[in-house]
């Protein structure tokens, strides 16, 4: 009952501010919180990054091993994504097997990367039909204050962009360019709808009372590569078109931030 009262108070406060086109942290509806990106923070990983959006903080680690390809894609490598929602990050997270929320975040991140062709999976083939590189993306949420989808996605993109193949570990001849073959820079952006208002990069309070959520992955050519709808509310057709148009400009600025950090690191 106490949580319901708090939620009601927060909702009334947010709705009151929305009428004046304001948010609790004084951002406008199309504005992200501060984004901080630190690539290469784990020396024992094959690629890594620490990314924060506001107070939401995620560490991404890349582990690369060799293995057999899937029978239906004998000449392509393998990629798998895992998300850990540890209790330290939020009182709503519990220890144990991956929660439905963790599974959903992992799938949305994985799909955005895969469908955008960020990595050329065929270049992960070592011996066609026999041996390929397997890339594991492990995401650890260390502080949760809303919008895990975008924070996890940016962390994954940055970590992959810094990753290098561990040739020596597997006694393989090193390539002239040991970096993982990144060919595209997709960005995911998440919007929520509260009442009739739509805003990007929801804070925890905004997520708590949101009617609907929409996450869109767009590549550098402004092509939509993946979408994920969340919560029980709906978006009208014209609202979706407006989100897409707005999202393309926002993504360009975030992509430049990522590229700048990655280029300096590499």
CATH of the domain at 218: 3.30.230.70
Contact 165, 180 (CB under 8 A): yes
Tokens 């990050």 sit at which residue? 89
Instruction: Say what the pLDDT of residue 2 is.
Output: 38
Within 10 angstroms of residue 97's Cβ, the number of other Cβ atoms is 7
Contact 227, 216 (CB under 8 A): yes
Write down the mean pLDDT value for the chain.
Answer: 92
Q: What's the CA gap between 137 and 159, in Å, rounded?
A: 8
Instruction: Say what the pLDDT of residue 88 is.
Output: 86
Residue 17 resides in a domain: no
pTM (predicted TM-score)? 0.94
Q: What is the per-residue pLDDT across 136-189, written as a single tens digit (0 to 9) for each?
A: 999 999 999 999 999 999 999 999 999 999 999 999 988 878 999 999 999 999
Instruction: Say what the pLDDT of residue 262 is.
Output: 84
Q: Could you give the percent of the chain with pLDDT greater than 70?
A: 97
pLDDT band at 11 (very low <50, low <70, confident <90, very high): confident
Tokens of 19: 């009428």
Sign of CA pseudo-dihedral 166, 118, 107, 258: positive
Tokens of 11: 């909702």
Strands (E), the chain: 35-39, 47-53, 56-67, 78-85, 125-127, 131-143, 187-194, 197-200, 212-218, 224-230
Residue 3 resides in a domain: no
Contact 254, 188 (CB under 8 A): no
Q: How many domains does one find in the chain?
A: 1
Residue 16 resides in a domain: no
Residue 14 resides in a domain: no
Q: Which conformational region is residue 146 in: left (phi greater than 0), alpha (psi within -120 to 50 degrees), or beta? A: left
Instruction: Say what the pLDDT of residue 113 is.
Output: 97
Residue 140 resides in a domain: yes
Residue 254 resides in a domain: yes
What's the domain range around 86? 22-265
Q: What is the per-residue pLDDT across 31-86, written as a single tens digit (0 to 9) for each?
A: 999 999 999 999 999 999 999 999 999 999 999 999 999 999 999 999 999 999 98
Residue 223 CB contacts under 8 Å (≥ 6 apart), including other chains: none
Q: What is the per-residue pLDDT across 103-122, written as a single tens digit (0 to 9) for each?
A: 999 999 999 999 999 999 99
- Strand 131-143 versus strand 125-127 pairing type: antiparallel
Contact 118, 186 (CB under 8 A): yes
Instruction: Say what the pLDDT of residue 5 is.
Output: 45
Residue 13 resides in a domain: no
Residue 10 resides in a domain: no
Average pLDDT over residues 14-39: 92
pLDDT band at 264 (very low <50, low <70, confident <90, very high): low
Q: Could you give the percent of the chain with pLDDT greater than 90?
A: 75
């Amino acid at each position: 009952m106490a949580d319901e009262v708090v939620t009601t108070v927060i909702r009334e406060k947010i709705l009151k501010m929305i009428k004046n086109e304001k948010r609790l942290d004084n951002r406008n509806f199309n504005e992200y919180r501060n984004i901080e990106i630190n690539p290469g923070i784990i020396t024992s990983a094959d690629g890594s990054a620490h990314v924060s959006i506001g107070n939401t903080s995620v560490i991404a680690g890349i582990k690369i091993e060799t293995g057999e390809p899937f029978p239906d894609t004998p000449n392509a490598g393998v990629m798998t994504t895992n998300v850990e929602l540890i209790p330290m990050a939020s009182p709503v997270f519990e220890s144990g097997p991956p929660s439905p929320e963790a599974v959903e975040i992992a799938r949305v991140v994985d799909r955005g990367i895969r469908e955008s062709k960020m990595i050329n999976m065929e270049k992960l083939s070592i011996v066609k039909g026999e041996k390929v590189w397997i890339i594991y993306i492990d995401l650890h949420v260390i502080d949760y204050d809303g919008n895990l989808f975008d924070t996890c996605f940016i962390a994954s993109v940055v970590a992959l962009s810094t990753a290098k193949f561990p040739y020596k570990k597997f006694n393989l001849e090193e390539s002239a360019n040991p970096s993982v073959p990144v060919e595209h820079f997709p960005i995911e952006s998440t919007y929520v709808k509260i009442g009739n208002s739509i805003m990007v990069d929801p804070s925890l309070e905004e997520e708590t009372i949101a009617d609907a959520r929409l996450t869109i992955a767009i590549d550098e050519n402004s092509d939509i590569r993946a979408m994920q709808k969340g919560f029980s509310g709906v978006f009208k057709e014209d609202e979706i078109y407006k989100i897409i148009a707005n999202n393309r400009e926002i993504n360009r600025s975030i992509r430049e931030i990522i590229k700048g950090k990655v280029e300096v690191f590499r």
